Chain A
Amino acid sequence: MRIQNISLFSGSQELITMSSSNKEQATNPEVATLWFLAARTMAIAGGELPSVQEAATGLYAQAILGFSEDDCRQAKSPDQIDNKTLIDCLSGVRQLSKELAEKILTGVMMISYADRTMTPLEVRWASMLASAIEVTPDEFQKCCVNARVIASMLRPQGSQS
């Protein structure tokens, strides 16, 4: 049973609500760990780690996914992330509500757009995530378009004066 209906870009503490009542509820840092794993995998699949992707990851986590600074820091603590594999990540996103999982997919696509190229491994990782989340081609296309839109926003020029 879906408990809460949320818009694609709303940030809220309640985003971690599971889509099914018989699934265990994950804590915010646990979900944030899934986000950081998925995002860094996409960045690594792209071959290099430019700092634009670094900064975009945290901004997306806080602005769009609604995680707090503490959630983001805990998510990357050794006990939280060191023993997590990509299989754990795919299995974890599968357990999330569809809306939240789509937001994570959108963010991951945004990371891949940051340098405006896409390698076969990046396509593979996007494909694996999309399969785990069970998005339709239309839903995936929506994620891609939104990712493209947000990617343009997370590279602001002249915003730090």
Chain B
Amino acid sequence: MTEQETNFHFLERFDKRVAQLAKQAEEYVHTDPDSCMFKLRLMIETMAKKLTELQMRQDISQDLGSMLGALERNGIVPRRQADSMHAIRRDGNAAVHGNPTPVPTAMRRLKEAYNISGWFCKIVKRGSKVKLEHFVEPTPPIPVDQETQQLHTRIEELEDSIEHRRMTTRESLLMFGPHEDIDVVTKRIYDELEALDKVAATAGEPIIDAELVALVMAMDLEQIEEDPRHGGDSRVAKREAEKQLEAIKLHLASREQEFLEERSKLMRNRDDTIDS
């Protein structure tokens, strides 16, 4: 690929601002990977804003994490794209906070941004045909020496390992396992439940009080907490559950911090070698 060429030409027809940010990220990937990450993060943020404007009616916080969460929860951004967008958001934030971005990490995120872009175009202009070509890695302005190449290989291995660990965590949280065909399982369970429902109805088995369920569902949390029968218990339960949820979130956040430190350590080792 020559200097004038870019992987992101196709984006211009769909969103000039996103295309410009993508091209800038591409230009910086070798010379200034931190700036590459800033641009990629901004690119994702611009995409997320556009998607929330186009696809969501309710007001969404303009914070990127919240926007991505809302888009994912509402089924607008599929899981694979959401994972990539979150990875860019995390690494972009890390770069903003002074954690150096290695070139292989920025390159990985650039490729992910490329794949997301293809999907994004189809969403913003329904029916548009976007056929992504094979992503061509921008060439470094000066040849990479052997030592840097070795470091890049180690960083690639580390990134693979981080991705694997993230995937493991992700799989543990999801409702279905990676081997399962969700449509097949859904049909099987639905059929079985319907059959059980018919048996129960035929046997005249009383069902739970649907009115009660509807009432509780309609109640505001404040009403529940003020209710003399539930108030005390509910508040205690809420505090306990909040603590336990917080513990899991802290655990997940500390894992991400560990990943960042592993990456920073590799970069520091390299800097120490150069200084000596």
Using a CB–CB cutoff of 8 Å, the interface residues on chain A facing chain B are 7-11, 36, 39-41, 43-45, 49-55, 57-59, 62-64, 69-70, 72-73, 76-78, 81, 85-87, 109, 113, 116, 118, 120-121, 123-128, 130-131, 137, 140-142, 144-146, 148-150, 152-161
Neighbour of B86 across the interface among A58, A63, A113, A160, CB < 8 A: A160
Decide if B66 touches A157 in the complex (CB within 8 Å): yes
Q: A49-B175, A53-B175, A158-B63 are in contact. Are A40 and B207 (CB under 8 A)?
A: no
The SS class assigned to the A binding surface is: helix
Among A58, A146, A148, the one with the most B-chain Cβ atoms within 10 Å of its Cβ is A148
B185 interfacial contact with A, CB 8 Å: yes
Decide if B169 touches A69 in the complex (CB within 8 Å): yes
A77 to B177 alpha-carbon distance, docked (Å): 7
Query: Other CB < 8 Å A-B pairs besides A126-B208, A148-B216, A153-B245, 10 of them?
Result: A8-B240, A41-B193, A58-B174, A141-B212, A144-B216, A146-B234, A148-B224, A149-B237, A159-B69, A161-B65
A50 to B79 alpha-carbon distance, docked (Å): 11
Nearest to A67 among chain B residues (CB) is: B172
B160 interfacial contact with A, CB 8 Å: no
List 7 A-B pairs, minimum CB-CB distance, nearest first.
A58-B173, A76-B177, A160-B65, A161-B65, A69-B172, A72-B172, A9-B240
Q: What residues on B are CB-neighbors of A72 within 8 Å?
A: 172-173
Neighbour of B230 across the interface among A11, A126, A142, A157, CB < 8 A: A142
Q: What residues on B are CB-neighbors of A148 within 8 Å?
A: 216-217, 219, 221, 224
Interface residues on B, range: 35 or more
Q: A40-B189, A78-B177, A161-B65 are in contact. Are A51 and B247 (CB under 8 A)?
A: no
Nearest to B82 among chain A residues (CB) is: A51
Decide if B64 touches A57 in the complex (CB within 8 Å): no
Q: What residues on A are CB-neighbors of B176 within 8 Å?
A: 40, 54, 76
Nearest to B61 among chain A residues (CB) is: A158
B249 interfacial contact with A, CB 8 Å: yes
Q: What residues on B are CB-neighbors of A10 within 8 Å?
A: 240
Decide if A58 touches B177 in the complex (CB within 8 Å): no
Decide if A63 touches B248 in the complex (CB within 8 Å): yes
Nearest to A75 among chain B residues (CB) is: B177
Q: Which of B219-241 contact A (CB under 8 A)?
A: 219, 221, 224, 230, 233-234, 237-238, 240-241
Q: A51-B72, A149-B234 are in contact. Are A43 and B197 (CB under 8 A)?
A: no
Decide if B230 touches A145 in the complex (CB within 8 Å): yes
Q: A118-B214, A123-B213, A127-B208 are in contact. Are A59 and B173 (CB under 8 A)?
A: yes
Taken residue by residue from 157 to 175, chain B's Cβ proximity to chain A (1 for < 8 Å, 0 otherwise) reads as 0000000000011011111
Decide if B180 touches A76 in the complex (CB within 8 Å): yes
Decide if A63 touches B245 in the complex (CB within 8 Å): yes
Nearest to A148 among chain B residues (CB) is: B216
Nearest to B178 among chain A residues (CB) is: A76
B200 interfacial contact with A, CB 8 Å: yes
Q: A145-B230, A160-B68 are in contact. Are A63 and B247 (CB under 8 A)?
A: yes
Decide if B194 touches A121 in the complex (CB within 8 Å): yes
Decide if A63 touches B244 in the complex (CB within 8 Å): yes
Nearest to A37 among chain B residues (CB) is: B189
Q: What residues on B are CB-neighbors of A87 within 8 Å?
A: 196
Q: What residues on B are CB-neighbors of A120 within 8 Å?
A: 197, 210
Q: What residues on A are CB-neighbors of B174 within 8 Å?
A: 54-55, 57-58, 76
A71 to B189 alpha-carbon distance, docked (Å): 22
